[in-house]
A and B are shown apart, each in its own frame.
Chain A
Amino acid sequence: MSSSNDPLAGVAIHGGGHIPAGVQVYPEPGTSFWSGGGLPYGIPSRKLGMWLFIVSDAITFSAVIFAYGYLRLAAADWPRPFETASIVNATVMTFVLLSSSVAMVLAVRASNLGRRGGTVGWLLATAGGGIVFDILHIREWLGLIHEGVRPFQNPWGTPMFGSAFFAMTGLHMLHVTIGVIYLLIIAMAYSNKKVTEVDVEVSGLYWHFVDLVWMFIFPLVYLLSAKVG
């Protein structure tokens, strides 16, 4: 395939590693990607690496969510303490996080169009969304701690409520915080031309994944424990 028809022409294809020169984006006629000397998925190695990291991180979250389900189903007195105000707060957090994902999409688009300033701006907006999410989240944690919720006790029922709440949301918050730092580093490096648009897209994969995890945690932790009636 000639390079002028190549939709990936000009897009950096190399991973972080030392790929032999002569690596092809498309296989020679009569051969397949899988016969060596090419990138079978037609994506840079570091993008494949991030996908694999996401698979494994998703499994880590799954294990924690499994533990939560296992214990919640076994508990006779799992509390449902979240008042409307808490649910509204969590909904706003969800909105902020999803909006940051939109900003991330725009950052990737800007970088693919070669707009360096726009990319950095959207990346900063994405990171800003993450920071707002963290602030709202910590405010909520402090509120619950004020009400007497601890990892080992709470005023309403089985102490596992606090354990599961802090473990799941804490693990997620850690991911958001790491993501914010990651995005800021990418934004800085991209504006200094140290990294390419591929790295912007790879950081986007991570950020969308973190958002996706929240779309499981929000219903499982908050909506299932909303105070009804």
Chain B
Amino acid sequence: MSDTSAAAHHHTAPTSFIRKYIFSLDHKVIGIQYYFLAIFSVLIGMVLSWLVRIHLVWPQLHIWGLEKLSPAGAPGGVMTPEYYLSLLTLHGTLMVFFVLTTAPQAGFGNYALPIQIGAEDMAFPWLNMLSFWTTFVGLCCLVATLFVKDGPPISGWTAYPPLSAVGSDAGPGQGMGQNLWAVSIAIFCVGSLLGALNFIVTTVDLRAKGMSLMRMPLTCWAWLITAILSLLSFAVLFAACILLFLDRNAGTSFFLPAGLLVNEKLQPHSGGSPLLWQHLFWFFGHPEVYIAIVPGFGVISHILSTFSRKPVLGYKVIVACLLGIGFLSFMVWGHHMFLSGMSPYSGFLFSIPTLIITIPATIVSLLWLGTIFGGKLRFTTSMMFALGFISVFVTGGLGGMFLAQPSLDIFLHGTYFVVGHFHMVMGVAAIFGMFAGTYYWFPKMFGRMMNETMGKIHFWFTFVGVYCIFMPMHFIGLEGNPRRYSQFVNAFIQPLMPVHKFMTIAALSTGIIQFLFFFNLFWSIFKGPKAPNNPWESTSLEWTVPSPPPFDNFAGVHPVVNHGAYEYGEENDGKDYVMQTDPPTRAVTG
């Protein structure tokens, strides 16, 4: 009855190149794989956003190479309005799923979670590898839409039916492109579910001795809560994608009503409801917003405390707020549907929790300010991105308070106000979290330091740049500038065209400055100065091991944790911080 295999099970490092770097079971390698998958996706997504912005202000511009990519979508290199929608859809899908969902959670989480809780690896290394490669296949399916005959689908990242469900009658990209989209997202759901399950079990079961829940770094809390959100929400999107696929390929009508005339062709469907998709999609879609941002909350709390040399203010309150945000995120999906035809009572019902969710978010933001207040701030690039995170998150979040109210949302929902809002609060804030995390963990991940001067230039240009891109969107939204339009021909928008040009130029130049980051990243991997074990004088467990850590993280030693994650204060024995593994007697007064 005894299980000798488990006791004898020892972590031995693989030696072959393929087992070491390609099909690796090591959470650190998998984390880096996820990270570079996100970097690849963000590059494509960023170029797509340039094309989209260029088309909006110079619709007749000849774009080199675009005709080669899609002769039908860009005859003579000039983008058609349909191709604009295709690229917009691909931009959104890539960014939301393969960047914002992938890097903060699966990338940094995979890399740092097991080390931070004192484990040798994730609970299910094999499943971990499977989730990465599943996600990779999903990405391949999505990128393949660029190369099929009609190009990517035109239905947006939300894939609203009837447009997404009726097939190629609905326009270019709605044939094979939309099928690939549905398959890609369904596969992505599977990968995320496996990953989420792994994260939860790892956090529950594999914490080192003494690492009680309330001693975990806030990053671990954030990854745990995000994993719970993923587990509960991707399951619904998975079902929705299956039904969408059946509607498109098996002739069912889950999302299609009767008598639908699309491009003068009567569709043979009847009995379904487009609203059903919206309910299923947004039941996933709203938690998804928090899946993107909550890991950022954790990383930012961690970094602010480290570089302020002060304990996080209100550790328990932050944990409670993150749990509250996670819980409430499942009760607000209807606020995406105020315009879609809901009873006014439902609108009211969804508006209240949406406004309530701003309370924990505000508390967390104030606690961050309290954390840095009176601290001995160290302005590393990582810290600057963390401070930038607070700024863009609060700015973007304030727009959310307008949109939470049905009476205002009915006017604003179809305008650029929403585009500005979600890019700021979900896109830019989450990406600032990733930048902060990159500059913070890079020494641990690659054993070398990044260049701080390049990092600071990168920060300032990016910080100013994102405000130049997304703040004006709020104002032209208030002016009534509709979103999703490929060209602005209406007379009332003409006075706003200079603003659009400004935003396009800002987007192009902010994009170009990102290449400084990419250069810094790849240059530092090979040429950066060697990193010590603990360059930031941080307290958590990953800084007790060499940079980069050995294969099983702690070289066979099982760490014992005696302290909380944020013990910074007055200097004692030449150090103003207490490592989590320091003897219980060591202390600093905070």
Kindly report which residue of chain B lies nearest to residue A19, judged by CB atoms: B206
The answer to whether A63 and B201 touch (CB under 8 A), given A45-B123, A197-B1, is no
Q: For the complex, what is the distance from the CA of A33 to the CA of B240, rounded to whole Å?
A: 38
Residues of B close to A70: CB separation below 8 A: 273, 276, 279
Chain B nearest Cβ from A6, distance in angstroms: 13
Chain B nearest Cβ from A170, distance in angstroms: 9
B213 & A34 in contact (Cβ 8 Å cutoff):
yes
Interface-side segment among B113-121, B423-431, B437-445, B478-486: B113-121
A121 in contact (CB, < 8 A): no
Residues of B close to A39: CB separation below 8 A: 205
Residues of B close to A19: CB separation below 8 A: 6, 119-120, 123, 205-206
B1 & A15 in contact (Cβ 8 Å cutoff):
no
Residues of A close to B270: CB separation below 8 A: 158-160
Kindly report which residue of chain B lies nearest to residue A35, judged by CB atoms: B212
A138 in contact (CB, < 8 A): no
Chain B nearest Cβ from A178, distance in angstroms: 13
A64 & B212 in contact (Cβ 8 Å cutoff):
no
A17 in contact (CB, < 8 A): yes
Chain A nearest Cβ from B316, distance in angstroms: 15
B204 in contact (CB, < 8 A): yes
A56 & B193 in contact (Cβ 8 Å cutoff):
yes
Chain A nearest Cβ from B257, distance in angstroms: 10
The answer to whether A60 and B2 touch (CB under 8 A), given A15-B201, A37-B207, is no
Kindly report which residue of chain A lies nearest to residue B270, judged by CB atoms: A159
B210 & A36 in contact (Cβ 8 Å cutoff):
yes
The answer to whether A40 and B204 touch (CB under 8 A), given A45-B124, A159-B253, is yes
The answer to whether A34 and B201 touch (CB under 8 A), given A10-B2, A55-B232, is no
A49 & B201 in contact (Cβ 8 Å cutoff):
yes
B264 in contact (CB, < 8 A): no
A163 & B231 in contact (Cβ 8 Å cutoff):
no
A13 in contact (CB, < 8 A): yes
Interface-side segment among B244-252, B293-301, B452-460: B244-252
Chain B, 546-562, contact with A by CB distance < 8 Å: what is the 0/1 string?
00000010000010010
Interface residues of A in 137-168 (CB under 8 A from B): 150-152, 158-160, 162-163, 166-167
Contact of B252 among A18, A63, A167 (CB under 8 A): A167
Chain B nearest Cβ from A212, distance in angstroms: 16
Residues of B close to A135: CB separation below 8 A: none
Residues of B close to A36: CB separation below 8 A: 117-118, 207-212, 215, 561
Contact of A52 among B2, B231, B236, B246 (CB under 8 A): B231
Give how many A residues have a beta carbon under 8 Å from the other chain's beta carbons: 58
B239 in contact (CB, < 8 A): yes
B6 & A12 in contact (Cβ 8 Å cutoff):
yes
B6 & A13 in contact (Cβ 8 Å cutoff):
yes
Interface residues of A in 108-155 (CB under 8 A from B): 114, 150-152
A48 & B235 in contact (Cβ 8 Å cutoff):
no
Chain A nearest Cβ from B130, distance in angstroms: 11
B206 & A71 in contact (Cβ 8 Å cutoff):
no
A20 in contact (CB, < 8 A): yes
24 A-B pairs in the complex with CB atoms less than 8 angstroms apart = A15-B124, A17-B121, A17-B122, A17-B206, A18-B10, A20-B118, A21-B7, A32-B212, A34-B213, A35-B210, A36-B210, A36-B215, A37-B207, A52-B196, A57-B235, A63-B239, A67-B276, A152-B253, A152-B269, A158-B270, A158-B271, A160-B252, A163-B252, A167-B246
User: Which A positions have Cβ atoms within 8 angstroms of B?
Assistant: 10-22, 32, 34-37, 39-41, 45-46, 48-49, 52-53, 55-64, 66-67, 70-71, 74-75, 114, 150-152, 158-160, 162-163, 166-167, 171, 196-198
User: Which B positions have Cβ atoms within 8 angstroms of A?
Assistant: 1-3, 5-7, 9-11, 117-127, 193, 196-198, 200-202, 204-213, 215, 231-232, 234-236, 238-240, 242-243, 246, 250-254, 268-273, 276, 279-280, 283, 552, 558, 561
